[in-house]
Amino acid sequence: MNRTAIAACLFVAAATQATAEDIPDLIGTWNIEMSAIGHRHPVDQRAEQPRILFEGSTAAVIDWQEGVLFSGRDVLEDVPDGFDRVDGELLSGVIGADNTTVFMVDDNGTITCTLISPNQMNCIYGHIEESASVAAIVNWTREN
């Protein structure tokens, strides 16, 4: 192998190691505060309540992480009227290459976050179920 190829391999290995060291640790219990808006399905149910406004709190536990991959579960506390309460809904997620973008899915929605400190994320949540669709601004704060 020539010197250039060896140097390239060493550079890639060093860059990969540095990136792996920078991957944030998301394990823990996260308190969640949200403000949401949505609408009901089907259309004939919108006459009484054309929009759903909701503010509340919940929690999530991330209990497994391997590199940029992680999983956990929701621990629902507040659920707006007309929504199903599903304790323990699973979360699966990935951390982006920039180590600040976090993307998660649960059983019926997506969450896109920006990690703003080791213990805080600002997120957007999109949720669709049979009875309603919701978009929310969500703040995640890890318990100490």
**Geometric angle at alpha carbon 34, from 107 and 89, rounded to 5°:** 20
Question: What's the pLDDT band for 62 if we cut at 50, 70, 90?
Answer: very high
C-alpha–C-alpha distance, residues 128 and 113, integer Å: 18
The gap from C-alpha 107 to its chain's centroid, in whole angstroms, comes to 12
Contact 141, 134 (CB under 8 A): no
pTM over the 0.75 mark: yes
Q: When comparing pLDDT for 62 and 45, which is higher?
A: 62
User: According to CATH, what is the number of the domain 25-142?
Assistant: 2.40.160.90
Question: What's the pLDDT band for 89 if we cut at 50, 70, 90?
Answer: confident
Question: What are 67's two structure tokens?
Answer: 């590199």
Contact 75, 60 (CB under 8 A): yes
The per-residue pLDDT for 1 is 55
C-alpha–C-alpha distance, residues 82 and 20, integer Å: 43
Question: What are 113's two structure tokens?
Answer: 């976050």
The per-residue pLDDT for 123 is 98
